[in-house]
Structure 1
Amino acid sequence: MGTERSSGAEGAASGSPDTEGAATGAEDSEGYVPDPRRWKALSVCLVVGFMALLDVSIVNVALPSIEKGLGASESALSWVLSGYALTFGLALVPSGRLGDAYGRRTAFLGGLVLFTVASMACGVAQGASWLVTARLVQGLAGGMLNPQISGMIQQLFRGHERGKAFGLLGSTIGISTAVGPLLGGLLIQAFGADEGWRWVFFVNLPIGVVAFFLALRLVPSTCAERDTAHRKSLDPVGVLLLGLGVVAVMLPLVEERQWHGQGKWLLVLVGAALIGLFLWWERKYLRRGLAPLVDLRLFRARSYSLGVLLGLFYFAGFTTIFFVFTLFLQNGMHYTALQAGLAMTPFAVGSAISAAVGGRFITRVGRPLIAFGLLLVLIGLAGAGVAVDLVRSHSIGWALVAPFLLAGLGSGLVISPNQTLALHSVPVAQGGAAGGVLQTGQRIGSAAGIAAVGAIFFAWLASSRDWATALDHGLLGALGFVAAAFVVAVADVWYGRRYGRRASRADRA
């Protein structure tokens, strides 16, 4: 990364408007010409991204239906849910690197075909093992798709347009995560408890087929990044080390409730050692003049390194909210899957509204906007906890509307703005791999958050036999993760302003 790029990223993080022009100018010098199809191509990418991310949350409410329809065991149900997250996280960085080297359009189309076929295999599954295997493949395909979307935004957009595009991506992430339980509940109610779960997967088929033909027509080939050096050095050793490290870290997290005993946590230490070995190998690989899987020089930019850390903490708290509230509403308050989904819809609405707005203003406001969004999330979640304590009746869903709406408005100012700033200083040719690292941090954060908060939630449920008490303590755990993200954002604002003052004094001198 050049000095000009790094300084542009630092300034953007501190909210300096002058740096956007500097960074944009640097990128324009690479010969950037706006593609007239870029917004149509983005629409196709966002629809596919919505479909892939929806399958993270939509299956939550379908688990009872799967258990009834297939007679699946608790362990199999866990793998239906966690296996998708595991292979999704495993595929992100290698797939991003593959797209950088051989073209994101090619990787995108391949991932889309695999995801659609795997969805069909899930829907026609005749047994639990069949369904688990298909879900693993589906997660792998979802992990192939997501880095291509962020990489293509890097490729197709510049300046304020890029912020707007990432804003739309943030809306997609927020809506897909929050609306999953609602859509799953609607499908199960429409098609019945025995077979309704199949339509949770079948709904992907028409979307996948239509999106494939639209992508063939509208998504441009990204030939610019297919340089010979990238093609000759796909870094298979780096892929293997990172893959094994991610699996070793995530496996005990996603299987925390199924694997009893403390021995499973040794895998986290093994994973940390493998990731340390991966970092050593990447430095060695770069010194040999080859293109590593992840160029560790990316982390020299504060906007990128702190963006990855902030995303990890935030997703550890963000995804956990839907996990504990779904359990509380369905099992504790005896809501149907549809009612539970409706109760959480205000979060999706708020997130969709603010993400689009945040994407427009992030290049001018910078990291303070993200810190403000995190503050809104903290207030909204605290309000949800108060609502649960005050309204212990079936009308709790109405009491959650205002706090969930506020938390959703805050969330929309966090996810896409953080992606925009984190990837601001990343060279376009490395956009896929860099986006893959960012999203891998989010997946690990989600798994760690659900494991930690779930352990707190179930421990209090076992001791108190009170769902509201268990929710209160689980919510405190989620708030802790969001508060950690808030500290990272405030630290970035402070360092950004300090950097800006020093640069201003240097200019005057």
Structure 2
Amino acid sequence: MDEQNEPNIPHPKRLLVSLCAVLMLSVMNGTMFNIAVPDIAKTYQLMPSEVSWVMTGYIMVYAVGALTYGKLADYYPFRTLITFGLTIFAVGSLFGFFAQNYGMVLVARVIQAVGGAMIPALVFLAPIRYFPKTRGKVLGIVSSVMAFASGIGPIAGGFIAGFLDWRYLFLTSAMIIITLPFLRRNLPQEEVNKGYIDYIGAVFIAGFISTLLLGITLGISWIFALTVLFFGLNLWRMRSIKEPFIPPHLFKNGKYRSTIITSFLSITCLFGMMFMLPIMFRDSYHLGTMAIGLVLFPGAISAALMGQKGGSLVDSKGNTFVLYLAMTLLAVGFFLLSMIVGANQFVVSATIIVAYMSFPLVQASSADILANLLEKNETGVGMGVFNLLNFVSGAISGAVIGKTLDLFNPSQPFNWLGFNGDTSVYSNIFLGFSLIILLSMTQFYLFYNKKEISYKRPVSQQ
């Protein structure tokens, strides 16, 4: 990377390394605790519904925070937000390490989420703001780090919890604070931009997202009534003031809307695969935690290797070309998995690579498309919506797949090329993923190139 080509940054390479390091530790923090949930339940004698709050509470606050930090990034310097976020995250991690009861563990996870939500929001905005000439390449690197960390997180979590204790996961997460001096040293000095922030709208959005995630993850139907209420309040707020928290004209832009939908459906299927594979290898292949991690490791490595190449393709071939390539790989990969599950575990491991390597391609190309569509003063909130939907997609895919695995146990797959037996349900889900990707690609093709109807942007409130 040519350090002379990027504006306002004394050392671009050092900044990129610092951003990747903090993202790696942040993503690993989330996936490591998936492994620790049974140990936490055993420590405090908890029911599954009770211990699930370790993840539910974290995801809920994290999703709302990712959008909020994105909005704040339009007005406040990155240095300020990163200092606040990492400090709060480290405090929450240390609080969790010394927790004496389950209530303190939950409080620690919420504090972690309040600070940690800053990381993906700003890490995905940094390439747009600080690396405009090599944006695609940098987004590819960032996306590959995120995919790789998602893959090795369970391995690291199993190792730490197995050889030490699950509390040391908190202590490991606290190490993220060591990246703060490097980030502050390499981020440029920026001033606060004056602007109006709709805090009432932010509360309504937080209520909508929180109740939606609670309803999905806990399976409580009456909570969705509150979701509908908050959704209505959001619509009213967006139409009643000049500068709402999320500008409604973002969703009137067909290209923005179709890109968001495509990314959401793709990431839903990818997160669904990541959620489902450990369950499949445990129940159908009878593998232990470490063995599962090793079987999934080649996919994580492939994502890391593909990210930088995919980012360069975004710059050289164009973001839509890379998105179509990623969607094609995903559709093919999921269809192959629908054929292969039930075969030898190493054959499945090799096949996973085809789908897994698409993770950074989808994120890098989608983020680059959105960056081109957004006005400079709306980049933060526009990318915040992108990050928000990524986290919501994880909650939705986990809840839907979990319920599907509970209710269905076919002996034969829909894919006549697949294996009969207890892996049939996984074959059917992968086939469904493949069809969702094809539908997503079709809607992107139809609506992204559709002629736009002009609209008038709201006048800024002074």
Structure-1-length-normalised TM-score: 0.80
The AA in structure 2 aligned to 1:388 is V
Gap change, CA 1:301 and 1:41, over 3 Å in 2:
farther
What is the match of residue 379 of structure 2? 431
Specify which of 331, 337, 340 is matched with residue 384 of structure 1: 337
- Paired with 1:406 and 1:104, the residues of 2 have a C-alpha distance of 36
Specify which of 39, 42, 46 is matched with residue 68 of structure 1: 42
Kindly indicate whether the alpha-carbon contact (under 8 Å) linking 2:331 and 2:433 is maintained by their aligned counterparts in 1: no
**Residue 11 of structure 2 corresponds to residue 33 of structure 1:** no
- Paired with 2:310 and 2:254, the residues of 1 have a C-alpha distance of 21
What is the match of residue 310 of structure 2? 358
Stretch deviating more after TM superposition (84-93 or 422-431):
422-431
What is the match of residue 185 of structure 1? 158
Kindly indicate whether the alpha-carbon contact (under 8 Å) linking 2:284 and 2:423 is maintained by their aligned counterparts in 1: no
Give the deviation of 1:340 after TM superposition: 0.9
Aligned residue for 1:227, secondary structure, equals coil
The AA in structure 2 aligned to 1:255 is L
Aligned residue for 2:73, secondary structure, equals helix
What is the match of residue 124 of structure 2? 150
Gap change, CA 1:146 and 1:77, over 3 Å in 2:
same
- Paired with 1:204 and 1:468, the residues of 2 have a C-alpha distance of 42
Give the deviation of 1:496 after TM superposition: 4.9
Kindly indicate whether the alpha-carbon contact (under 8 Å) linking 1:353 and 1:412 is maintained by their aligned counterparts in 2: no
What is the match of residue 270 of structure 2? 318
What is the match of residue 415 of structure 2? none
Matches within 5 A, 1:28-427: 33-159=7-133, 161-191=134-164, 195=165, 197-206=166-175, 208-223=176-191, 226-228=192-194, 230=195, 233-256=196-219, 264-286=220-242, 291-363=243-315, 364-391=317-344, 396=345, 398-427=346-375
Kindly indicate whether the alpha-carbon contact (under 8 Å) linking 1:312 and 1:446 is maintained by their aligned counterparts in 2: no
- Paired with 2:212 and 2:268, the residues of 1 have a C-alpha distance of 14
Gap change, CA 1:188 and 1:212, over 3 Å in 2:
same
Q: How many equivalent pairs are there?
A: 440
Give the deviation of 1:298 after TM superposition: 2.5
What is the match of residue 261 of structure 1? none
Aligned residue for 1:423, secondary structure, equals helix
Alpha-carbon deviations, 1:308-344, whole Å to 9, x = none?
2122212221112122221222344332211111111
Aligned residue for 2:221, secondary structure, equals helix
What is the match of residue 404 of structure 2? 456
The AA in structure 2 aligned to 1:67 is A
Consecutive unaligned residues of structure 1, counting only runs of 5 or more, are: 1-31, 257-263, 501-509
Alpha-carbon deviations, 1:10-40, whole Å to 9, x = none?
xxxxxxxxxxxxxxxxxxxxxx935232332
Higher helix share: 1
Kindly indicate whether the alpha-carbon contact (under 8 Å) linking 2:71 and 2:381 is maintained by their aligned counterparts in 1: yes
Stretch deviating more after TM superposition (60-69 or 345-354):
60-69
Gap change, CA 1:468 and 1:42, over 3 Å in 2:
farther
Give the deviation of 1:489 after TM superposition: 3.0
- Paired with 1:428 and 1:470, the residues of 2 have a C-alpha distance of 52
Gap change, CA 1:470 and 1:431, over 3 Å in 2:
farther
Aligned residue for 2:408, secondary structure, equals helix
- Paired with 1:81 and 1:372, the residues of 2 have a C-alpha distance of 33
Kindly indicate whether the alpha-carbon contact (under 8 Å) linking 1:92 and 1:436 is maintained by their aligned counterparts in 2: yes
Gap change, CA 1:454 and 1:90, over 3 Å in 2:
same
- Paired with 2:306 and 2:109, the residues of 1 have a C-alpha distance of 32
Consecutive unaligned residues of structure 2, counting only runs of 5 or more, are: 1-5, 412-418, 453-462
Alpha-carbon deviations, 1:86-123, whole Å to 9, x = none?
11112122222122222222111111111112122222
- Paired with 2:343 and 2:441, the residues of 1 have a C-alpha distance of 32
Give the deviation of 1:165 after TM superposition: 1.2
Kindly indicate whether the alpha-carbon contact (under 8 Å) linking 1:99 and 1:148 is maintained by their aligned counterparts in 2: yes
